[in-house]
Amino acid sequence: MSAKLIQGNEAVVYGAIKAGLKFFAGYPITPSTEIAEMCARELPKVGGVFIQMEDEISSVAACIGASLAGFRSMSATSGPGFSLMQENIGYAIMAEVPLVIVNVQRMGPSTGIATAPSQSDYMQVRWGTHGDHPMVSFAPFSVEECFTEVIRSIYWSERISSLVVLLLDEVVAHMREGIDIDSIKNVIEIPDRGPFPNERENYRPYKVDKDKGAKLPPLGMGYRFNVTGLVHDELGFPVEDPEKTKDLIKRLHNKIDAVESEIISYDERYTDDADVIIISYGSVARSSLRAVRELRKNNFKVGFFRPITVWPFPSKRVRELSKRIKKIVVAEMSMGQMVLEVERSVGDDCQINLIQGISGELISPDIIYKTASEVISR
């Protein structure tokens, strides 16, 4: 493919197919619908399957089933649909089923404004389903990153045997940029599942080290095990044993903690001499980067920090930065969600200021420039 002008949602599909996507189940919802439409067109060309389900609940259920059958699976939605998915998200996490969900954020609550951008699902991604559970989520800010980060999402879903969320917003999903997919470097290679032992009779897919994910062989290969959302033993059958319960819940967290340094990524610029750092993600980070460049032209010592991995949050690096700067400005399209993670990471090390974007419009570089310059001048 030569360079083409494509939108973020399209890049997600190209990247997912590059990563071996073979199954998509979903329900159309603005502003993610183009992902479903493209999967309907492109997946059959590579021997894949597209199914439009009756709702988002059944969409995740179908993806869980396809993943258990050995197919790399994905669904896509927006806020209202993501809310409906929560029960089956929890099921996939407990059963350790590899799966990717793309959540293209839009204005809420409820049905809000279907075509307006927002970043108010940030906390829902981490805490939307009940119980103690981990979560991995990546947030691109460019069309090229939509391509690379969906591949990384599929990679990590397979490696840790869990559900991973690719977190977009309406602006990133619908903006168009010229990219040459074939020339993109450092695309992660995703290994096949397994290997699995030849001895099928006594295989226990949940019998793994305390910091590893389950190894689920595709159904139909002759391995017998149970799949449940209940606390379970090494064969997947429900148990109520306190020690086994504790071990399972700890392992769900440990398998991510063990590779957190590999999972976490961020984009950091102009921080060496900075007195103030602007932190943002997704489309707002594009406005922030423009504002930082303009501020530096006017001799303001301002840095830029963008979490690409939004869960787990890159707390360690933010904490390190906070010990040598004076102030942080957080810009996000919500009343303030990511700022809570920044505050938790920083503590009392420096002052934190929030720019709220709750109008259904992207926060402009001018607003960030004005706020940051006022913060510096105080």
Among the residues of 161-235, which ranges form H helices? 170-174
pTM over 0.95: yes
Point out which residues pair with 308 in neighbouring strands. none
Q: What is the structure's pLDDT at 95?
A: 98
Closest CA to 355 of 372, 341, 340: 372
Closest CA to 332 of 304, 378, 375, 368: 368
Q: Are 168 and 104 in contact (CB under 8 A)?
A: yes
Q: Are 225 and 235 in contact (CB under 8 A)?
A: yes
| Strands 136-138 vs 309-311: parallel, antiparallel or unpaired | antiparallel
| Domain residue ranges of the chain, discontinuous segments joined by + | 1-263, 266-377
Q: Are 211 and 251 in contact (CB under 8 A)?
A: yes
Q: What is the structure's pLDDT at 1?
A: 58
CATH of domain 266-377: 3.40.50.920
Task: Render each residue's pLDDT in the chain as its tens digit; 378 residues.
Answer: 578 999 999 999 999 999 999 999 999 999 999 999 999 999 999 999 999 999 999 999 999 999 999 999 999 999 999 999 999 999 999 999 999 999 999 999 999 999 999 999 999 999 999 999 999 999 999 999 999 999 999 999 999 999 999 999 999 999 999 999 989 988 899 988 989 999 998 899 999 999 999 999 999 999 999 999 999 999 999 999 999 999 999 999 999 999 999 999 999 999 999 999 999 999 999 999 999 999 999 999 999 999 999 999 999 999 999 999 999 999 999 999 999 999 999 988 899 999 999 999 999 999 999 999 999 888
Rounded CA gap, 250 and 248, in Å? 5
- Domains 1-263 and 266-377 agree in fold: yes
- The domain made up of 1-263 is a member of CATH 3.40.50.970: yes
Rounded CA gap, 305 and 322, in Å? 12
Q: Are 89 and 163 in contact (CB under 8 A)?
A: yes
Q: What is the structure's pLDDT at 2?
A: 73
Burial category of 10 from C-beta neighbours within 10 Å (exposed 0-12, middle 13-18, buried 19 and up): buried
Q: What is the structure's pLDDT at 194?
A: 87
